[in-house]
Amino acid sequence: MAKKIAVYGDVPAKVHVRQRYWHVRTDGIRQRYWHKTKRTKIVSKSKRWEIHGKGKALYKATVIAHGYLPKEDFTTISADKLIENPEKYGERGEWLEKPEVEYE
């Protein structure tokens, strides 16, 4: 496989809030279970593009990857395909900024 440019970072993602509910089991014991609720919250999630290609196409694809967040968590794609149809593989948005690391 060819060499690839990895464009990665944190993106805002909508996830269902999970909540614990009491249930009565068939054997009569009450137990708490985790359930997905309808409520959603926005969390930060790590996603990445893996782009392979050549020269100008690779550069253009990287620029597009900078402006588009991938729909899947991990997207390996050729530069030409991403340039042709970026909406198919990603959606417009901004990457979240990394928290600053303190040095000693």
* Residues 6+ away with beta carbon under 8 Å from 66: 7, 95
The only residue of 45, 80, 81, 86 in contact with another protein, by rule CB under 8 A: 86
Does the footprint of another protein cover residue 2 (CB under 8 A)?
Answer: yes
- Burial of 10 (C-beta count, 10 Å sphere; 0-12/13-18/19+): middle
Of 27 and 42, which CB lies nearer to another protein in the complex structure?
A: 42
Taken in order 46, 93, 17, 99, the sign of the CA dihedral is: positive
Of 1-9, 12-20, 21-29, 34-42, the window that binds another protein (rule: CB under 8 A) is: 1-9
Query: Which residues are at the interface with another protein (CB under 8 A)?
Result: 1-9, 50, 54-56, 58-60, 62-67, 74, 83, 86-87, 94-104
